[in-house]
Amino acid sequence: MGIRAPRPADTPMTDQKHTPVMLDRCLELLEPAIAAPGAVLIDATLGLGGHTEAALTRFPELTVVGLDRDTDALALATARLAPFGDRFRPVHTVYDRIRDALDGLGIDRVNGVLFDLGVSSMQLDEAERGFAYAQDAPLDMRMDRTSGQTAAEVLASYPESALRRIFERYGEERLAPRYARRIVEARMLAPIERSDQLNRIIADATPQAARRPGHPAKRVYQALRIEVNAELAALEDALPAALDALIVGGRIVVLAYQSLEDRIVKREFAARSRSTAPAGLPVELPEHAPELRLLVRGAEQADDAERALNPRAIPVRLRAAQRLREVA
């Protein structure tokens, strides 16, 4: 996944090369685990397949299981990766169902896992998906358009208190009460079904003194997208499932683009990378030893060169870990 230049209207999406974020660093961290013959990597957020294509090219005996809830992205990535034959195994699913996906393929454990979180470049580029506030479009925002409620349905049905809660929690928006109230007032006059309508409501409700750089609706869109797709709940379930699927020596790399995602990753990695032995115990028993070893100090960012070339790399935070032992 990653931002790329808009494609000409007559150019198939599969012909365009989107820019995977921190690609070389991801493969460098995963390499000790996935370079061996017969290794399996889960790309839990396949998108258009940029990270997977690079991994399959660099490691000729690797198999990648690619997961994505977006049927459009999955179809495009599958076409793009067809030259790799059965070394690529696509699965239509949300990443919190990693265990089910592996069971369906007859795979018990894997050598590596990659998460590239957030909204994909294709979803941002396709105006009718409703993810981007910069383009007028129906307020859909579903990553999987085959199921679930749309952003427009959330705006139409949630009480003011619930809208305020999701704007505060998922958008970290300090004007959440004001925006929720204005949305409820506006929908009494007409349904809020398009991004231009929502943009006007948010812009009109934003006091001049409270305006920040960028579009005032940015955090509201983030909050709606997270709510529609239950992204944080899925991530909280997906990380333990992914870690449990790793063999001893297996590695996981996670790219997060906003603080809410990164906190979940940081918390899960921290909990599994420290001893659980009671304080004062003279000898650490094996069952209390850390399960993970952190591979990077804190969270890494893209370097200046990549940030200049690929805007999507600007907010990224990379965390990585290696599994040290089995858990009883």
**Close Cβ partners of 119 (under 8 Å, ≥ 6 residues apart):** 131, 143, 225
51 labelled as ligand-binding? yes
SS3 266: helix
50 labelled as ligand-binding? yes
Contacts of 32-36 with CB under 8 Å at 24 or more apart are: 32/249, 32/251, 33/111, 33/112, 33/249, 33/250, 33/251, 33/322, 34/59, 34/62, 34/111, 34/112, 34/251, 35/59, 35/62, 36/61, 36/111
Closest CA to 238 of 147, 116, 143: 116
Rounded CA gap, 301 and 25, in Å? 10
Output DSSP code: residue 251: E
Tokens of 276: 């659980």
288 labelled as ligand-binding? no
Tokens of 277: 């032995």
Closest CA to 46 of 31, 34, 64: 64
| Spatial contact of 95 and 45, defined as CB atoms under 8 Å apart | yes
Rounded CA gap, 141 and 124, in Å? 10
Rounded CA gap, 114 and 202, in Å? 36
Backbone angles phi, psi at 294, to 5 degrees: -70, 135
116 labelled as ligand-binding? yes
16 labelled as ligand-binding? no
170 labelled as ligand-binding? no
136 labelled as ligand-binding? no
Rounded CA gap, 254 and 189, in Å? 44
- Residues constituting the chain: 328
Binding residues: 49-51, 68, 95, 116, 123
Binding residues for S-adenosyl-L-methionine: 49-51, 68, 95, 116, 123
